[in-house]
């Protein structure tokens, strides 16, 4: 069993080390991660310059690219053997609801969609590493049990772990993605030379966060597991779109 591990917080992130430690005695693990924080990189690929892998003293491979670059190279020739499974994280910060559109953590897992087994993206609901052992515990439990899963190809499991000690976790819930309200406006700044710039503001609060959603589960103290697929086709829209298109001819 070979696992490719990546993240978007960067190769030196504590969550990456915690995930690797949790899985290292379960499978043959290879870490390929960005050389710096690439949060919010989504599924971007680097196409304007070459990528240079560097093997660090701890055996991790650092790459001057995005999370998707890391997994793409790992599955397409950088490694002598192709991995069986892709696992991403442990992200310091939630990836709930609409966050999955921007998340480099989820994007790294999505790039593993070509493999036969489902990929995992793990996130802890905190910017601090205090409860990383809780997240690492559930990462191990879920990955260990993945061979019993019967899921269609190109499925990713997005897992969010509450920022709680292990003994305070109430269980695991299967959830759907909730939705956030619109984000706050970008924050305008002016540098000492008068040049204007903007900081992207914080994500909006949960707007659709009721029972059954990932937002609700983690707020109630449960680990949230949400199955994701890349196909975003809105099949129900065909009924209204077909006559609309025919009317244009």
pTM of this prediction exceeds 0.95: no
Domain assignment of residue 93, yes or no: yes
Domain assignment of residue 112, yes or no: yes
CATH number of the domain at 52, please.
3.40.1210.10
Strand order in the sheet with 54-55: 54-55, 61-63, 28-34, 2-6, 85-92, 119-124, 155-161, 222-229, 171-174
- The pLDDT of residue 116: 84
Binding-site positions for a divalent metal cation = 8-9, 39, 91
Closest CA to 3 of 22, 18, 21, 23: 23
Q: Which domain holds residue 152?
A: 1-179+206-245
pLDDT digits 0-9 by tens, 194-208: 999 988 877 777 777
Binding-site positions = 8-9, 39, 91
Q: How far apart are CA 210 and CA 219, in angstroms?
A: 10
- The CA-atom distances, in angstroms, between 85 and each of 111, 112, 216 are 11, 7, 29
Q: For the chain, what is the domain count?
A: 1
pLDDT digits 0-9 by tens, 142-193: 999 998 988 988 899 999 999 999 999 999 999 999 988 887 888 899 999 9
- The pLDDT of residue 175: 96
Cβ atoms within 10 Å of 140's Cβ, excluding its own: 16
Domain assignment of residue 199, yes or no: no
pLDDT digits 0-9 by tens, 102-141: 999 999 999 998 898 899 999 999 999 999 999 999 999 9
At 62, the pLDDT band (50, 70, 90 cuts) reads very high
């Amino acid at each position: 069993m070979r696992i490719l591990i990546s993240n978007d917080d960067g190769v030196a992130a504590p969550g990456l080390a915690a995930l690797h430690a949790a899985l290292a005695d379960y499978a043959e693990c290879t870490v390929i991660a960005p050389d710096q924080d690439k949060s919010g990189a989504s599924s971007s690929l680097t196409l304007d310059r070459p990528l240079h892998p560097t093997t660090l003293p701890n055996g991790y491979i650092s790459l001057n690219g995005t999370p998707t670059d890391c997994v793409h190279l790992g599955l397409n020739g950088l490694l002598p053997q192709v991995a069986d499974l892709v696992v991403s994280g442990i992200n310091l910060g939630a990836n709930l609801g609409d966050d999955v559109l921007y998340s480099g953590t989820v994007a790294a897992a999505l790039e593993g969609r070509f493999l036969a087994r489902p990929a995992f993206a793990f996130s802890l609901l905190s910017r601090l590493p205090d409860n990383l052992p809780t997240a690492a515990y559930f990462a191990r439990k879920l990955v260990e049990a993945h061979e019993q899963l019967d899921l269609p190809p190109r499925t990713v499991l997005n897992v969010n772990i509450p920022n709680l000690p292990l003994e305070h976790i109430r269980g695991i819930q299967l959830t759907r993605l909730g939705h956030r309200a619109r984000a706050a406006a970008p924050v305008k700044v002016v540098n000492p030379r008068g040049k204007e710039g903007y900081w992207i503001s914080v994500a909006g609060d949960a707007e659709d966060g009721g029972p059954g959603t990932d937002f609700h589960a983690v707020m109630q103290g449960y680990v949230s597991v949400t199955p994701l697929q890349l196909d975003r086709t809105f099949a129900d829209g065909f009924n209204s779109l077909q006559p609309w298109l025919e009317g244009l001819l």
